[in-house]
Amino acid sequence: MAGIAPNARSRRIEESATLAISAQAAAMRQRGVDVVSLGAGEPDFPTPGPIAAAGIQAIEQGNTRYTAAAGVPKLRAAGARWLRATFGLDYEPAEVMVCAGAKAALHMALAALVEPGDPVLILAPHWVSYPALVTMADGVPAVVPAVPEQGFVHDAATIAAAVRRHGARGLVLNFPNNPSGAVPTRAQLQAIVDVARELDLWLVSDEIYGTLLYDGAVHVSPAALPGGRERTLVVSGFTKSHTMTGWRTSFLAGPQPVIDACGRIQSQVLGNACTISQAAMLTACEVPLPDDQARRQRAFGERRAFLLEALADIPGLALPAPRGAFYALVDARALGRARGLDDVTMARQLLEQHRLAVVPGSAFAAPGFLRLSYAVSLDQLREAISRLRAYAEAK
Ligand code: PMP
Ligand code: GLU
Domains of the chain as residue ranges with CATH: 8-46+290-393 (3.90.1150.10), 49-286 (3.40.640.10)
Cα–Cα dist 306/301, whole Å: 9
3-state secondary structure at position 243 = coil
d(C-alpha 192, C-alpha 171), whole Å: 10
Residues in the chain predicted with pLDDT less than 70, given as ranges, are 1
CA 88 to centroid of chain Cα atoms = 21
To the nearest 10°, report the CA torsion of 96, 98, 102, 105: -70
Q: Which residues of 174-201 are buried (b: 16+ CB within 10 A; e: fewer)?
A: bbbbbbbbbbbeeebbbbbbbbbbeeeb
pLDDT at 56: 98
> Can you tell me which atom of ligand 1 is nearest the CA of 325?
5
Atom of ligand 1 nearest to the CA of 239: 15
Rounded to whole angstroms, what are the CA distances from 106 to 12, 16, 392?
18, 15, 37
DSSP state of 115: P
Of 13, 14, 42, 206, the one to substitute when testing ligand 2's pocket (max ligand atoms within 8 A of C-beta) is 42
Q: Is 106 in the pocket of ligand 2 (CB under 6 A)?
A: no
Supply the pLDDT for residue 80: 98
What is the reported pLDDT for 17? 84
Q: Is 19 in the pocket of ligand 2 (CB under 6 A)?
A: yes
Output the pTM of the full model.
0.97
How would you list the strands of the sheet with 369-373, edge to edge?
327-331, 369-373, 359-360
**What are the pocket residues of ligand 1 if the criterion is a CB atom closer than 6 Å to any ligand atom?**
41, 101-103, 127, 174, 178, 206, 208, 239, 245, 250
CB 341 within 8 A of CB 347: no
pLDDT computed for residue 1 by the predictor:
62
To test the pocket of ligand 1, the residue of 18, 178, 277 to mutate (highest count of ligand atoms within 8 Å of its CB) is 178
Burial class for 122, CB neighbours closer than 10 Å (0-12, 13-18, 19+): buried
* Element of type H or E holding 372: strand 369-373
| CA 22 – ligand 2 centroid, Å | 9
Alpha-carbon Rg of the chain, whole angstroms? Answer: 21
pLDDT one-digit tens code per residue, 145-203 = 999 999 999 999 999 999 999 999 999 999 999 999 999 999 999 999 999 999 999 99
3-state secondary structure (DSSP) of residue 19: helix
- Among 263, 265, 244, 241, which Cα is nearest to 252's? 263
Ligand positioned closest to the Cα atom of 325 = 1
Q: Which amino acid is at 136?
A: M
